[in-house]
């Protein structure tokens, strides 16, 4: 049933965006941004449930905490960066959107370095 | 956190647009500019509260802090 609320909020935000676009484009864009934020806030408690179960399974499998937490960080950064980049693209400022997603990619790359080195050590350890 | 916020923002937008038209017709353009800024700032404040709440809960969730 929650999906109907999400669709409702999205449609209302879209309609108010189009309605205000000619009179006041900057406030029109803010209504679209408000719609995005409201839908994201609605999805938070589902995300909590997903993450709790996933970390539970990962803990059972025996992955150590550092890798799990960096994977979680990477997912969070990807989520937030995409959120901001699409909002900027919606505003028409493609260059800023691309820079935001570039920043997200680089930070994710930076966070995945330890995992990468652990993998390389593992592989070199296996080789004779 | 409900749909009412979108209606509030849309209402502020329409209000500022109307006031702008009235002020422009009575050729007080500088006041019209001030009204536009005032509307924009109030909407921005509302949005910033929501965004900070969203980013706070997300950073708690993903241990991003």
**Tell me: the pLDDT tens digits for A35-88?**
999 999 999 989 999 999 988 998 888 877 888 888 889 999 999 999 999 999
Do B16 and A16 lie within an 8 Å CB cutoff? no
Is A100 inside any structural domain? Answer: yes
What is the tens place of the pLDDT at every residue in B26-38? 998 899 999 999 9
Is A127 inside any structural domain? Answer: yes
Is A82 inside any structural domain? Answer: yes
**CA atoms within 13 Å, Cβ hemisphere of B17:** 16
Do A42 and B1 lie within an 8 Å CB cutoff? yes
Is A73 inside any structural domain? Answer: yes
Sequential DSSP letters for A16-63 = HHHHHHTT-HHHHHHHHHHHHHHHHHHHHHHHHHHHHHHHHHHHHHT-
Of A13, A37, A73, the CB nearest to B64: A73
The whole domain housing A71 covers 64-128
Tokens of A51: 């993450």
Q: B39 contacts in A (CB within 8 Å)?
A: 24, 27
Is A33 inside any structural domain? Answer: no
Tokens of A25: 């484009």
Number of domains in chain A: 1
Is A5 inside any structural domain? Answer: no
Is A78 inside any structural domain? Answer: yes
Answer whether 0.80 is exceeded by the pTM. Answer: yes
Is A112 inside any structural domain? Answer: yes
Residue % of chain A over a pLDDT of 90: 67
pLDDT at A1: 80
Q: Could you tell me if the ipTM is greater than 0.90?
A: no
């Amino acid at each position: 049933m929650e999906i109907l609320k999400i669709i409702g909020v999205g449609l209302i935000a879209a309609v108010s965006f189009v309605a205000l676009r000619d009179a006041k484009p900057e406030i029109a864009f803010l209504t679209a941004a408000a719609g995005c934020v409201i839908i994201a806030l609605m999805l938070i408690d589902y995300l909590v449930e997903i993450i709790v179960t996933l970390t539970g399974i990962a803990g059972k499998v025996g992955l150590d905490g550092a890798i799990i937490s960096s994977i979680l960080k990477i997912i969070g950064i990807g989520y937030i960066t995409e959120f901001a980049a699409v909002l900027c693209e919606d505003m028409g400022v493609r260059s800023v959107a691309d820079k935001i997603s570039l920043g997200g990619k680089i930070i994710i790359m930076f966070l995945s370095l330890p995992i990468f080195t652990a993998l390389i050590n593992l592989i070199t350890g296996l080789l004779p | 956190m409900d749909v009412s916020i979108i209606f509030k923002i849309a209402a502020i937008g329409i209000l500022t647009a109307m006031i702008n038209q009235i002020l422009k017709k009575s050729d007080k353009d500088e006041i019209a500019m001030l009204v536009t800024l005032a509307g924009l700032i109030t909407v921005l404040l509302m949005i910033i509260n929501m965004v900070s709440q969203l980013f706070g809960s997300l950073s708690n969730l993903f241990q991003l802090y």
